[in-house]
Amino acid sequence: MPDAPDTVRKHPGGTTVEYAVAWQDGTPTRYVGRLRVSEDGFGIDGTETASGIGRERATVPRTDLCAATAERRGDLPAVRILTNHRTYLVELLQGGLGAALLLADQLAALIG
């Protein structure tokens, strides 16, 4: 798989980059869904993997971003995103470590 975002959308306000992800927000619950990065920050949503019923969604403005680092979690590339309120662990379901580095760089560029 290429080391690139899943989807790139250009619109009058800028560009939104989307990734297929599995993620946790500091709780044991794991979700599968989408991460969207734009000039304003990021949005993440997903369905709970254990039940397939629960759904979670969060929007994080760029002013709340503190750090983003790429790492490897088992076989999956991942990005740990630290915000003012919680830490997200985001595993990329498509792409390799290069895609995780790209995502971490995109998020880091939004900080301060």
φ and ψ at residue 108, rounded to 5 degrees:
-65, -35
Which tens digit of pLDDT belongs to each residue from 53-93? 899 999 999 999 999 999 998 889 999 999 999 999 999 99
Distance (Å, whole) CA 35 – CA 103: 10
Q: Where are the domains of the chain?
A: 7-110
Which tens digit of pLDDT belongs to each residue from 3-56? 555 666 665 667 888 999 999 999 999 999 999 999 999 999 999 999 888 999
DSSP class of residue 40?
T
pLDDT number for residue 3: 53
Binned at pLDDT 50, 70 and 90, residue 112 comes out as confident
The yes/no answer on whether domain 7-110 falls in CATH 1.10.3080.10 is: no
Angle at 8 between CA 4 and CA 11, to 5 degrees: 160
- What is each CA distance from 97 to 49, 58, 73, 100, in whole angstroms? 23, 24, 10, 5
Residue type, 12: P
Q: What is the pTM of this model?
A: 0.88
Instruction: Using the structure block, give the residue that is written with the tokens 């709970």.
Output: 48
pLDDT number for residue 36: 96
Beta-carbon count within 10 A of 27 CB: 9
